[in-house]
Chain A
Amino acid sequence: MAPTPADLRALTRARDLMDRRYVEPLDVPAIAASVHMSAGHFHRSFREAFGETPYAYLMTRRIERAMMLLRTGTSVTDACFAVGCTSLGSFSSSFTRLVGATPSAYRAAAEAGDHDWLKALPGCVAKTVSRPMRSQPAVRPPGPA
């Protein structure tokens, strides 16, 4: 059965909470309870609504924040811990899988000015357009590849 608008509104509320508290470890039962859903129902309906499991969504959010930190000169290690990841190895492999470049290569490209086009956008727009997507590589600036 398709989720009702009220279900989707509750799932959006839960996703906003995850967006705000991305640094904290993910507590799916607590988030599900905050919108009055069982953990299992929350997990299934979240994936149906947003195309990712809650945990995958959290990692996408963390990598998106890490990309922002790397663009502004934060070191790879500091960016990893600042977004709530506790293992540099798994952070780097998640980052590389999502972004298509290692964290250090992404940071070096930012230093070389490859991401300067994002500076022309308001932060909330830059956040949306630079967010990596699981189905395709992260957005590239306009122009030849």
Chain B
Amino acid sequence: MKIQNTFLTVDDHDKALAFYVDLLGFTTTNDVAYGGFRWVSIASPEDLGTNVVLINVGGGPDTSEADREALAALLAKGMLPGLVLSTGDVDADFARLEAAGCDVIQEPVTQHWGRDCAFRDPAGNMVRLNQHV
């Protein structure tokens, strides 16, 4: 068994794609829009079978307005679960993302297992980059 889809809430798909596809290099594997909602799947070019689906706040039309507002606030406060990515060169990635104006959470730091840094995606999700030695 393997993981096929997992979900990440974003507030603006175009901004999210500029971050995840243009800057981080993920591939768009699916892009569906319906009734004001949109589901965009992204995957690593190295593993197109493991997708992260970027969803609207609340996911679909059956979420109440109160729940949607609560989720939008939590997203903006960085309190929804984010992503941990594995990369071959944390320092090069950090330099590129910082130069592009991304919000830094943590500069590259050496850990006992390697090196890591962290950013926020445009919506406020934490994206941590790990480089194992």
Interface residue B78 (Cβ < 8 Å from any Cβ of A):
yes
Contacting residues, chain A, for B77 (C-beta < 8 A) = 8, 11-12, 49-50
Q: Is the CB of A5 within 8 A of B103?
A: no
- Residue-wise, chain B 116-133 has the 8 Å CB interface mask toward A (1 for contact) of 101010011000100000
- Kindly provide the distance from the CB of A95 to the nearest chain B CB, expressed in whole angstroms: 23
- Kindly provide the distance from the CB of A111 to the nearest chain B CB, expressed in whole angstroms: 19
Q: Is the CB of A16 within 8 A of B76?
A: no
- Residue-wise, chain B 95-133 has the 8 Å CB interface mask toward A (1 for contact) of 000000001111100010000101010011000100000
Interface residue A1 (Cβ < 8 Å from any Cβ of B):
no
- Kindly provide the distance from the CB of B74 to the nearest chain A CB, expressed in whole angstroms: 9
Q: Is the CB of B105 within 8 A of A16?
A: yes
Q: Is the CB of B103 within 8 A of A16?
A: yes
Q: Is the CB of A19 within 8 A of B105?
A: yes
Contacting residues, chain A, for B90 (C-beta < 8 A) = none
CB-based nearest A residue for B118 = A124
How far, in whole Å, are A50 and B128 apart by their CA atoms in the complex? 22
Interface residue A41 (Cβ < 8 Å from any Cβ of B):
no
How far, in whole Å, are A88 and B30 apart by their CA atoms in the complex? 57
Q: Is the CB of B76 within 8 A of A6?
A: yes
Please count how many residues in chain A sit with their CB below 8 Å of the partner chain's CB atoms.
16
How far, in whole Å, are A50 and B76 apart by their CA atoms in the complex? 12
Q: Is the CB of A9 within 8 A of B107?
A: no
Question: Which among A6, A19, A123 is the interface contact of B111 at CB below 8 angstroms?
Answer: A123
Interface residue A13 (Cβ < 8 Å from any Cβ of B):
yes
Contacting residues, chain A, for B103 (C-beta < 8 A) = 13, 16
- Kindly provide the distance from the CB of A68 to the nearest chain B CB, expressed in whole angstroms: 12
What are 27 A-B contacts with C-beta separation under 8 Å? Answer: A3-B73, A5-B11, A5-B72, A5-B75, A5-B76, A6-B76, A8-B73, A8-B77, A9-B76, A9-B123, A9-B124, A11-B77, A12-B76, A12-B78, A12-B120, A12-B124, A13-B103, A13-B120, A16-B103, A16-B104, A16-B105, A16-B120, A19-B105, A19-B106, A20-B104, A50-B77, A123-B111
Closest 4 CB pairs of A and B: A8-B76, A5-B76, A9-B76, A5-B72
11 extra A-B contacts, CB within 8 A, seeds A8-B76, A9-B76, A9-B124: A5-B72, A5-B73, A8-B77, A11-B77, A12-B77, A12-B120, A16-B105, A16-B120, A19-B105, A20-B106, A124-B116
**Chain A residues at the B interface, C-beta cutoff of 8 Å:** 3, 5-9, 11-13, 16, 19-20, 49-50, 123-124
